[in-house]
Structures are given as C-alpha cells and as structure tokens.
C-alpha cells in the first residue's frame, strides 16, 4: 500500500490510471476504522482494479461544539488494518484540502436540513463539500458508503446526480455488533454501562420494523412504539429524532408502506451521539 | 460541428477523447454570440485538439425580476457563426441540467456577495453551480472566460482551486466596440440614443485608470473621478457601483497600487444593466 498526502499527486496518478483503463474504488473515511469500514474496503477491492482508502477528519462537517478535537484518531492502527487490502491510502492535511482563502461550499438543500441535519447545522454541507473534493481528486469509478449513515448516502447520491459526477455510488449494509449495535467510531466514547445500553436504538428500530411487518400503517403509531422502547432505557439522555421517513426525500411519513420506508433515529447516550436506521426499499 | 444535447452523451464522448490523449477547450456561453465570444472560441480552437462551445441560458443565475425570459436567444445565428470553428456544440435543455428534484448548489462565499453580487442575489451561486456542472460533463482541459465578466472569472478561479478541479482557467481580454463599449449580449437592449451614451462606463473607468497612471493613490479620489464622468451622462439611470478593488479578494481598496488594482463598475442605461472593468495586475 502506498500513502499519498498531496492532492495533486493523487489526482495525477488517478487520472493516469483511469486513462489506462483501470477502475478505482474509493472508500472515504475519517479513520478509526472498524469492521463496517473493512466491509466497504473489501467491496472496493473486489470490484475495482485499484482500491483507495481516504482518511481525513473533515473539520467542516463538525458543527460548533461537536467532537472534532476528540474524534478518535488511530492512523497507526488504521494502516495495520488496511495495508494488505488497499492499494493507496490518501491521507491529506487539512491545509491541503482547505487551502488559504478557501471559500467554496456545496449544499444539497432540502435533504441537509432534515433528521440529523436539524441537530447538526452545516454538517451535510461539510460532508457534501469534502466528498466532492475527494471525488475530484481521486476520480473514483465507484465510491463506497455504509447505509448506517443513511442520510449521508442520500445527500451523496443527490450530489452525484445533480452535479453529473461520473461516479457510481455503492451502498453497503450496516455492520453490527453481536448485540445489534451498529458499528461506529463514536462507540469508543461509550463507558461500559453505556455500551451495554446502546443497542436500545437498534431494538427500538427493530420494534418499529416488526410493527410494520405485522401490518401497522400508521406512522405515528410506529413512532410511539419506537419511542416507548427508548423510554425504557434510562441511559438514553436525549432523543434527537426517531421516526418513519420516505427513503428518497427523507420527509417524515404519515402512512408507512413496506415497500419504501426508512426507520431512523438519533439519540444521545453518555458522551456519544448514536444514529442507526433500518430501511425497506430493496436496498437492505 | 456536431451538436450534442444529452449530458451523458457529452460526458462519455469527452472522457473517451481525454483518455485518448486529446485536449478539450470549453467556451461556456449563454448564446447570442458576439466578437467577444468569438475570440474565446478561436483561442479554444488554437490551444486544444477539440473545441467545445456550450450554449445554455442558465435560469439559476438570473435573480428574481431579472431578464431571464427576454435574454437574447439566436441559436440559428449562433450556429452559423461557430460551425466552422467549434468541433462540438453542447446545447442541453434546462431539464437535463436541472433534473427533477434538483437541490444542489455551489457557493463561493465572500467573492459572491460583493460588486455585482450585492445587486444580484444568488447570481454567482447560479454561475458557480452551472460552471461546475459543465466542467463535470465536458471534462475540459482548459476553459475560456472573458475578463469583461471579471467577478465571474474570480469566482470560477476560486471554485476550481477550492474543489481541486483539473481544469486550466484561461482568461481573455475584453473585446470592445470602436467607441470603447465592452461587447455584451445585453447591449442589444440599448435603444439608439442609449447605445450612443453607453461607452460612458468605459470612459469613466479609463479616467480612473489615467488618474492612477498619473500617480493618484487615494481610492476615494479615483472613485470620485469615475463617478463624475458617469454623472455627466443623463442616460445613466443608476450607478450600482464603481470603485477600485483588490483583483483577488474583490474588496474595495483605500489605497491603489498600479501593480494590483481592479477598476470596475455596473450601471443601468435604459433597459440594460452594463458592467465593465479595467485591471492592472499583469492579466490585462
């Protein structure tokens, strides 16, 4: 595995390889890699000639007061995990991706203000901006995202379509711990008791999904069922949101249909803000 | 010359040609082509294997109440002018560049709110968004812009740098009528008397430039000199702005230096809003 730090070097290499007919699979990450990332990287490796992993803790996607400074970083451990799998590690400095005088941002309106976006102002603008930069620099044939960050995947798919980017966005299933907790770098923030409580979010979503499978069509009833599960866990400090949404527009639903429903929630447990979702639309 | 309407066809062709080692020169226009455009197209033809002209009257760069509906359109005449010069005319429909559910926009903050931006809310967001789309679709090696739209060139250069776009932005001198009026598709709005009055904007900028050449360093004095010239022409209905600016940041200057000054103005004469500029920084 080669490590590349400079955008210009990465871009020149990528354009050269693409023109030689090689496909490039990109897995954009913020590091602190877990099995969810590893599944994306294996998919990128299997489906492309060249697998590129980017590690960049993107400052612009952290809202004011969020955990940018203490976001888990473990470059040494990450390199160990991916060195046999990835061909290139793209590891830019902040000043390389946001040069002096930087003032361009990309906004996917509508999608960005809903769900997590309502609680993380500017978050998806930062995501869209950095993803576009990475696509321009790495020129991927395919880019791999985990469905655990469902809203992010919706924003990226819309970005790609609206800006006519020649990239296939590949979505991979959420990878879970044995007790159902969705894998996330932020799970590292959980104290042992909180870690034991954390799968409650998955259980709440699963209870909503069960109700739908059993024929429940009233979205507010599904919402109540999920909130009741969360309410039984005292370590849930705050429920930012949990509801049934349209998987494309992310608008909250009044009536649910098995063929197209996103159940998603965001909660605070201890110092961690956890998100998770289950989607019924053929994607998962 | 081949006419291509579909973004996907244009993009596939462009990627294929680029990978065959061919360079692509793009001249993005809104049509109603004049000698200023023609100079850009000749430059694109001379410096590249393939010259692409795009014609697209971009709705998102017109502010509310502006002249989108009556903006001059003359596809037949445009095709006659460029058929021997351009290799490809890219002529997309609005629905092809802004598909249903479109919600992505690109903002170059700072630069976009100044000068013309203060009078045309959202204009440069629309420009940046459509230029990015065109770059993604046409994959140009070089893109050609006229210095008459100086602020636009500053926004595009910043966009290219911030988003790491592999495009060379080439700036070409303003082409003028014999009496000094900068060529513009909007000059067609001028009634005969207004047309005779219109070079006053150029004369005002030239008077400011003369004062600087003669050693004037006080920007407000230069501004006064330019405003006095405009004030002597009764057909100037409104002066949106006219001043001395930093050519990079577009911030209004207090002290002028010959080595780096942009003199720029925007005025209304009859139904036309005219802009022009002179820049001293080695670019012109």
Whether B159 has its CB under 8 Å from any CB of chain A: the answer is: yes
| CATH no. for A186-277 | 3.30.1300.10
Residues of chain A with CATH 3.40.50.620: 2-172
For chain A, residues with pLDDT lower than 50 are 282-284
CB contact under 8 A, B162 and A108: no
Residue with tokens 């060379």: B168
CA–CA separation, B162 vs B158, rounded Å? 6
Among residues A172, A168, A158, the alpha carbon closest in space to that of A24 is found at: A168
Chain B contacts of A162, Cβ < 8 Å?
98-99, 102-104, 133
Cβ A204 vs Cβ A230: under 8 Å: yes
Paired sense of beta strands A236-245 and A261-269, if any: antiparallel
HSE of B186 in the Cβ direction (CA atoms, 13 Å)?
20
Using alpha carbons only, what angle is made at residue B8 by residues B6 and B11, rounded to the nearest 5 degrees? 110
Q: pLDDT digit string (tens) for B175-234?
A: 999 999 999 999 999 999 999 999 999 999 999 999 999 999 999 999 999 999 999 999
Whether B101 has its CB under 8 Å from any CB of chain A: the answer is: yes
Q: pLDDT digit string (tens) for A174-232?
A: 999 999 999 999 999 999 999 999 999 999 999 999 999 999 999 999 999 999 999 99
How far, CA to CA in Å, does A276 sit from each of A9, A118, A268? 37, 16, 12
Residue B257 has pLDDT above 90, yes or no: no
Residues of chain A with CATH 3.30.1300.10: 186-277
Query: Looking at the partner chain, which of A109, A128, A166 has a beta carbon nearest the beta carbon of B15?
Result: A166
Whether A3 has its CB under 8 Å from any CB of chain B: the answer is: no
Contacts of residue B2, defined as CB under 8 A and 6 or more positions apart, other chains included, come to: B87, B88, B89
Cβ A20 vs Cβ A26: under 8 Å: no
Q: Provide the percentage of residues in chain B whose pLDDT is more than 90.
A: 95
CA–CA separation, A260 vs A248, rounded Å? 9
Whether B163 has its CB under 8 Å from any CB of chain A: the answer is: yes
Distance from CA of A183 to the nearest CA of B (A): 30
Q: What is the CA radius of gyration of chain B?
A: 19
Tell me whether residue B123 is one of the annotated catalytic residues: no
What chain A residue is nearest to B8 in terms of C-alpha separation? A164
What chain A residue is nearest to B15 in terms of C-alpha separation? A19
CB contact under 8 A, B103 and A158: yes
CA–CA separation, B135 vs B140, rounded Å? 6
Largest pairwise CA distance in chain B: 58
User: What ipTM was estimated for this complex?
Assistant: 0.94
Chain B contacts of A15, Cβ < 8 Å?
166
Whether A14 has its CB under 8 Å from any CB of chain B: the answer is: no
Residue B284 has pLDDT above 50, yes or no: no
Among residues A127, A89, A90, the alpha carbon closest in space to that of A107 is found at: A127
Among residues B107, B152, B126, the alpha carbon closest in space to that of B275 is found at: B152
For the B185-278 domain, the top CATH level (class) is: alpha beta
CATH topology of domain B2-172: Rossmann fold (3.40.50)
Query: Looking at the partner chain, which of B11, B99, B106 has a beta carbon nearest the beta carbon of A104?
Result: B106
CA–CA separation, A194 vs A196, rounded Å? 5
Q: pLDDT digit string (tens) for A99-120?
A: 999 999 999 999 999 999 999 9
Confidence at B281, pLDDT banded by 50, 70, 90: low
Identify the bridge partners of residue B264 per DSSP, sorted by sequence position.
B243, B277
> Where in B85-136 does DSSP place strands (E)?
88-90, 104-108
How far, CA to CA in Å, does B247 sit from each of A86, B150, B163? 44, 9, 21
């Amino acid at each position: 595995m080669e490590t590349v730090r400079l955008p210009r070097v990465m871009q020149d290499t990528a354009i050269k390889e693409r023109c030689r007919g090689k496909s490039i699979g990109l897995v954009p990450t913020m590091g602190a890699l877990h099995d969810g990332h590893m599944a994306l990287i294996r998919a990128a490796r299997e489906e492309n000639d060249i697998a590129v992993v980017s590690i960049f803790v993107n400052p612009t996607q952290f809202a004011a007061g969020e955990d940018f400074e203490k976001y888990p970083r473990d470059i040494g451990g990450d390199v160990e995990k991916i060195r046999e799998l990835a061909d290139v590690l793209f590891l830019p400095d902040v000043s390389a991706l946001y040069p002096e005088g930087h003032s361009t941002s990309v906004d996917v309106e509508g999608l960005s203000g809903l769900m997590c976006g309502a609680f993380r102002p500017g978050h998806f603008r930062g995501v869209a901006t950095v993803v576009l930069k990475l696509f321009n620099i790495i020129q991927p044939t395919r880019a791999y995202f985990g469905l655990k960050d469902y809203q992010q995947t919706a924003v990226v798919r819309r970005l790609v379509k609206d800006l006519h980017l020649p990239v296939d966005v590949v979505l991979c299933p959420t990878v879970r711990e044995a007790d159902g907790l969705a894998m996330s770098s932020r799970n590292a923030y959980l104290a042992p008791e909180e870690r034991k409580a954390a799968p409650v979010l998955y259980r709440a979503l699963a209870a909503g999904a069960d109700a739908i499978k059993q024929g429940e069509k009233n979205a507010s009833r599904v919402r109540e069922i999920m909130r009741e599960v969360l309410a039984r866990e005292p370590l849930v400090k705050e429920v930012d949101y949990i509801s049934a949404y349209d998987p494309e527009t992310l608008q909250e639903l009044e009536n649910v249909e098995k063929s197209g429903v996103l159940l998603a929630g965001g909660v605070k447990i201890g110092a961690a803000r956890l998100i998770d979702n289950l989607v019924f639309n053929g994607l998962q």
